[in-house]
Amino acid sequence: MNEREVLLKRVQICDFALADTALFLDTHPENQMALDFYKKYLEMRKSAADAYTSRFGPLVHSDYDGGPRWNWVDNPWPWQNEEA
Amino acid sequence: MWMYSKKLQYPVKIKNPNPAMAKIIMTQLGGPDGETGAAMRYLHQRYSCPYGEVTGILTDVGTEELGHMEMISAIVYQLTRRLCMDEIKQSGFDSYFVDHTTGIYPVSAAGIPFTMDYLASKGDIITDLHEDLAAEQKARTTYDNILRLADDPDVKDAIRFLREREVVHYQRFGEALRITQDNLDCKNFYAFNPEFDIRQARALEKSRK
């Protein structure tokens, strides 16, 4: 894995943990253990996303960093997997 | 990957139910030029698209269309709240009601369920963008027709917003077509298909750098 893939994987791990916990919380909205778990991964997600976007560009539009180019449109798109 | 945002793109606040109008507007969810077809069209065409700016516009317009599916569903939902059986019978909504009650199910105004036959993904970006330009105009005409049929200002306000977005999308797809053509052989745009003949597309890109 190159550095981009390593940093992206961290975001994907956090996002999956958040998505899966959100499903559990939908049916258990007052479960404190799940709420704490969600909060922990939310904080990890923030630092993982910052590390990725500061070097490799936006994951969502609102990651725009104020630079001179809308690098949202730059290849690769997620399904292109050109390295493989 | 998508994330749901718990808000409408533009507010839908309809005070008075109108099941006959709901049946007409439902065509923009499940009909031939509706928002479901639009979202499916752009979000499938984008995978083999070779130009980042064009992939970007297909992704972002396609995503916005998902939000428009939600707006149309909100309009239909609000137009069919608190109905009595007499209103359902007299309005002609009974033919929808019998199968779906007041649940949201994507059908055309004539009751035909949504089908992927309404869209194309041709694997040729010039062809796909022409389809997309036509689709936006067809949706714009449908919204114009809805505005002729509607008299409730609450309904017209949301429909006018959606109609305007068709015009903006048409403009952006026109620009995407120009970007595509700028990447091709200016003497013959059809010399090769940049989605399929990848080697020729890359060779042309390199020769320009």
Cβ of residue A78 closer than 8 Å to a chain B Cβ:
yes
Q: What are the percentages of helix, strand and coil residues in chain A, rounded to 5?
A: 65, 0, 35
Phi and psi torsions of B107, nearest 5°: -135, 165
Tell me the per-residue pLDDT of A32-63, one tens digit each, with 9 for 90 and over.
Answer: 999 999 999 999 999 999 999 999 999 999 99
Tell me the per-residue pLDDT of B123-176, one tens digit each, with 9 for 90 and over.
Answer: 999 999 999 999 999 999 999 999 999 999 999 999 999 999 999 999 999 999
Tell me the C-alpha to C-alpha distance, in Å, between residue B113 and each of A79, B27, B182.
31, 10, 40
Is residue A71 predicted with pLDDT exceeding 80? Answer: yes
Chain B residue numbers with beta carbons less than 8 Å from the beta carbon of A72 are 56
Chain A residue numbers with beta carbons less than 8 Å from the beta carbon of B1 are 15, 78
Q: Hey, which residues 42-61 in chain B have their CB within 8 Å of chain A?
A: 46-47, 52-53, 55-56, 59-60
- B55:A72 CB<8 A: no
At A14 the pLDDT is 98
Min distance B52 CA to chain A CA atoms (Å): 5
Chain B residue numbers with beta carbons less than 8 Å from the beta carbon of A61 are 60
pTM of the model: 0.95
- A77:B46 CB<8 A: yes
Collapsing DSSP states into helix, strand and coil, what is residue B113? strand
At A83 the pLDDT is 57
Is residue B54 predicted with pLDDT exceeding 80? Answer: yes
Chain B residue numbers with beta carbons less than 8 Å from the beta carbon of A11 are none
Is residue B185 predicted with pLDDT exceeding 80? Answer: yes
Tell me the C-alpha to C-alpha distance, in Å, between residue A42 and each of A29, A48, A65.
17, 10, 21
| Sign, Cα dihedral of A66, A69, A75, A79 | positive
Tokens for B90, please give them. 């007299």
* Average predicted confidence (pLDDT) for chain A: 95
- List CB contacts of B154: < 8 A, sequence separation 6 or more: B13, B14, B15, B16
> CA B127, CA B78: separation in Å to the nearest integer?
38
| Residue B113: strand pairing partners | B107
When computed from its CA atoms, the radius of gyration of chain B, rounded to whole angstroms, is: 20
Q: Does the interface ipTM go beyond 0.90?
A: yes
For residue A29, give the DSSP letter.
T
Element (H, E) at B19: helix B19-25
For residue B22, give the DSSP letter.
H
> CA B64, CA B11: separation in Å to the nearest integer?
15
